[in-house]
Amino acid sequence: MTDVSNSPQKLPQFRRSSDGFSRQELVNAFRNSFQMIGGVDALTIWAADNQTEFYKLFSKLFPAATLSLDAQTALIIQHAVPPTLLDNHPSERIDLPIPSEGEVHDDNH
């Protein structure tokens, strides 16, 4: 991990106005700080050693409200947090038949 106090990179300077930081300034400060302390790599190392705490924090990213939907309703989830390197992973769609009630599906054939 990088020692920020000895870093040649200049730290961001914020001046507090009469009403404090704007939300965007605060978001930018956290985003910059996250990158300066190791970004995704450092978070991954910490999360591996602190899984319970990681999942507590991760769960706070989920919406607080729940909805009851019928089978004909499409739900579109728009995340408030922009995508990060953690979101860049290969994905593959696998279509499997849904067995009827009483029918047994054998994955080996």
pTM of the model: 0.41
Convert the pLDDT of each residue in 11-60 to its tens digit. 666 565 555 677 888 888 899 999 999 999 999 999 999 999 999 999 88
Q: Identify the residue with better confidence: 36 or 1.
A: 36
User: Does the structure show a pLDDT above 60 at 100?
Assistant: yes
CB 4 within 8 A of CB 37: yes
The DSSP call for residue 95 is -
Residue 66, pLDDT above cutoff 90? no
Quick check: 4 and 36 in contact, CB under 8 A? yes
Kind and range of the H or E element at 27? helix 23-36
